[in-house]
């Protein structure tokens, strides 16, 4: 069923009784051309583009829980392409371009909202660093504007500009950045993939792999064996666990990141702001809640929940830049498992096992990457060669020294 104003009116007159499920609930078949493990945004987008761009439709997405139950449905929904290093800039900009056409392509309202993303700077040195990043972006055809203090103040009037320790001097603005509805992105890709023939198999956990003379032949799951000559892993925070089933040690740690939502209030902030003197970022959802977050908790975790020191740290940073926040009650918080790579950048590559492909290392920035990750992972799986904008995301870059370390932190995942 195509969604449109007409289908909406028709259903309104029928008491909305005629809507069909957005995707089927098939039992696994015994064999597919490609299996994607992980029904988050990346896995679903990969399946969609495999079918749509490469014509490979005998595809299954195998998800141990329900689709979008991982980070796809836990993130703070920020999309942007303000990356400064070669290897990243073109990839994230391709993702932004896909976001701009996503809803028409999927015939699904993903609530993509290009409300702008402002990174505030608080010192001359930080301004220079942001100017350099903005220039790198513009050289790649990405939009970037350096705002002075007055311009920032016009967009974000209620912040603490007089703060003696962290005075706000201005910001780097990407107007095309913004937010999207995270669940709807997973659902939209799922529906799109399903309509092209992809089987989305939920409540099906992968517990092992069939490997024969160095080549993957299929997967072992809680719902039986499923065969395929090509298997793609898109399991985010669980990548090390799944990769361990084939004996792969990866340059990765799993960490917990928390997010927070306040009570619903009237429209207050109409852009996305990141504080430059501590780790804090905030935007407002269409329901009215302020959505915010900050640093990782900082230790390896598979618990999908964090601890109070990180909560205190995030709220302190928030209060430093926006004292008025103290008058608003915060309503709920949760955690997700971050696949923190050793240089803070992702991996989209083959593995030493033939036919087994890897899409991981998204750290806490993988939501914005969802469309391009799906596009490039599908390209890699279908053609067995890297897509040009993802060519730097190699697994062997840690051995060859071609790291992509935006923050310059070195091999310390909890600092990226």
Partner 1 sequence: MRIDCPYCGERGSEEFSYLGDADTLMARPDADRPDAAAAFHAYVYLRDNPAGRHRELWYHGAGCHSWLVVTRDTRTHAITVVISAAAPRAAGGRG
Ligand X SMILES: Cc1cc2nc3c(=O)[nH]c(=O)nc-3n(C[C@H](O)[C@H](O)[C@H](O)COP(=O)(O)OP(=O)(O)OC[C@H]3O[C@@H](n4cnc5c(N)ncnc54)[C@H](O)[C@@H]3O)c2cc1C
Q: Which residues contact partner 1 by CB under 8 A? A: 238, 240-241, 244, 249-254, 298-303, 307, 309, 312, 342, 398-399, 411-414
Backbone angles phi, psi at 254, to 5 degrees: -100, 125
As measured in angstroms, the least distance from the Cβ of 337 to partner 1 is: 10
**Site membership for ligand X, residue 70 (CB under 6 A):** yes
Q: Does 336 bind ligand X (CB under 6 A)?
A: yes
Closer to partner 1 by Cβ: residue 1 or 303: 303
Q: What is the DSSP letter of 22?
A: S
Comparing C-alpha atoms, which of 380, 414, 359, 344 is closest to residue 83?
344
CA distances from 244 to 233, 323, 361, 412 (A): 12, 46, 15, 21
Q: How do beta strands 356-360 and 230-233 pair?
A: parallel
Structure-block tokens of residue 133: 């990043």
Contact between 337 and 238 under an 8 Å Cβ cutoff? The reply is yes
Contact in structure between 35 and 60 (CB atoms under 8 Å): yes
Min dist. Cβ of residue 293 to ligand X (A): 6
Q: Is 141 left (phi over 0), alpha (psi -120 to 50) or beta?
A: left
Smallest separation (angstroms) from partner 1 to the CB of 409: 13
Name the binder of 249 from partner 1, ligand X, none, CB < 5-8 A by kind: partner 1
- C-alpha span between 257 and 366 (Å, rounded): 13
Interaction mask 158-197, ligand X, x per CB under 6 A: ----------------------------------------
Closer of 247 and 326 to partner 1 (Cβ): 247
With CB under 6 A as the contact rule, the residue among 50, 62, 144, 376 that binds ligand X is 62
Query: Toward ligand X, which CB reaches closer, 169 or 342?
Result: 342
Q: How many residues bind ligand X (CB under 6 A)?
A: 39
Helix axes 182-195, 89-106, angle to 10 degrees: 70
Measuring CA to CA, how many Å separate 48 from each of 174, 200, 372?
28, 11, 12
Contact set for ligand X, span 101-160 (CB under 6 A): none
Nearer to partner 1, 76 or 238 (CB): 238
Give the integer Cα–Cα distance in Å for 400 and 391: 14
Least distance (Å) between residue 235 CB and ligand X:
4
The reply on whether position 285 binds ligand X by CB under 6 A is: no
Q: Indicate which single residue of 142, 172, 235, 353 sits in contact with ligand X (rule: CB under 6 A).
A: 235
Q: How far is the CB of 394 from partner 1 (least distance, A)?
A: 13
Cα 354 to Cα 375: distance, rounded to the nearest angstrom: 21
Cα separation, 401 vs 251, in Å, equals: 13
> Does 365 help bind ligand X (rule: CB under 6 A)?
yes
Distance CA 151, CA 157 (A): 10
Choose one: 150-158, 187-195, 365-373, 382-390; the region binding ligand X (CB under 6 A): 365-373
Q: Does 71 bind ligand X (CB under 6 A)?
A: yes
Q: How far is the CB of 225 from partner 1 (least distance, A)?
A: 23
What does the alpha-carbon distance between residue 34 and residue 383 come to, in Å, rounded to a whole number?
12
Binding site for ligand X (CB under 6 A): 37-43, 62-65, 69-72, 74-78, 205-206, 234-238, 242, 257-259, 293, 336, 362, 364-368
């Amino acid at each position: 069923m195509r969604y449109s104003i007409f289908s909406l009116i028709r259903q309104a007159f029928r008491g909305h009784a005629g809507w069909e499920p957005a995707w089927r609930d098939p039992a696994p078949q015994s064999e597919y051309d490609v299996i994607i493990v992980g029904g988050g945004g990346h896995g679903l987008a990969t399946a969609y583009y495999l079918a749509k761009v490469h014509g490979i439709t005998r595809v299954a997405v195998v998800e141990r829980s329900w689709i979008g139950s991982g980070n796809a449905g836990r993130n703070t929904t920020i999309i942007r392409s303000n990356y400064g290093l070669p290897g990243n800039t073109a990839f994230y900009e391709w993702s932004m371009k896909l976001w701009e056409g996503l809803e028409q392509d999927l015939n699904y309202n993903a609530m993509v909202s290009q409300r702008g993303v402002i990174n505030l700077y608080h010192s001359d040195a930080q301004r220079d660093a942001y100017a350099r990043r903005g220039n790198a972006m513009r050289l790649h055809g990405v939009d970037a504007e350096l705002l002075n203090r007055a311009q920032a103040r016009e967009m974000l009037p209620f912040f603490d500009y007089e703060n003696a320790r962290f005075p706000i001097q201005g910001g780097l603005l990407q107007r095309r950045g913004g937010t999207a509805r995270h669940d709807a992105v997973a659902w939209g890709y799922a529906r799109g993939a399903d309509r092209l023939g992809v089987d989305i198999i939920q409540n099906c956990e992968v517990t092992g792999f069939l490997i024969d003379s160095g080549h993957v032949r299929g997967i072992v799951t809680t719902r039986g064996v499923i065969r395929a000559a090509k298997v793609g892993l898109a399991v985010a925070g669980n990548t090390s666990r799944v990769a361990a089933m084939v004996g792969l040690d990866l340059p990765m740690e799993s960490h917990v990141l928390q997010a927070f939502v306040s009570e619903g209030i009237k429209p207050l902030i109409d852009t996305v702001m990141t504080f430059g003197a501590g780790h804090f970022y905030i935007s407002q959802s269409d329901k009215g809640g302020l959505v915010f977050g900050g640093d990782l908790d900082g230790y390896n975790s598979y618990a999908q929940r964090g601890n109070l020191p990180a909560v205190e740290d995030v709220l302190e940073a928030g209060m430093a830049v926006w004292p008025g926040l103290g008058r608003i009650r915060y309503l709920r918080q949760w955690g997700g498992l971050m696949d923190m790579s050793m240089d803070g950048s992702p991996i989209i590559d083959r593995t030493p096992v033939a036919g087994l492909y890897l899409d991981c290392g998204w750290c806490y920035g993988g939501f914005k990457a969802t469309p391009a990750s799906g596009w490039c992972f599908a390209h890699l799986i279908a053609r067995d060669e890297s897509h040009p904008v993802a060519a730097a995301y190699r697994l062997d870059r840690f051995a060859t020294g071609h790291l992509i370390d935006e923050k310059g932190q070195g091999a310390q995942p909890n600092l990226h």
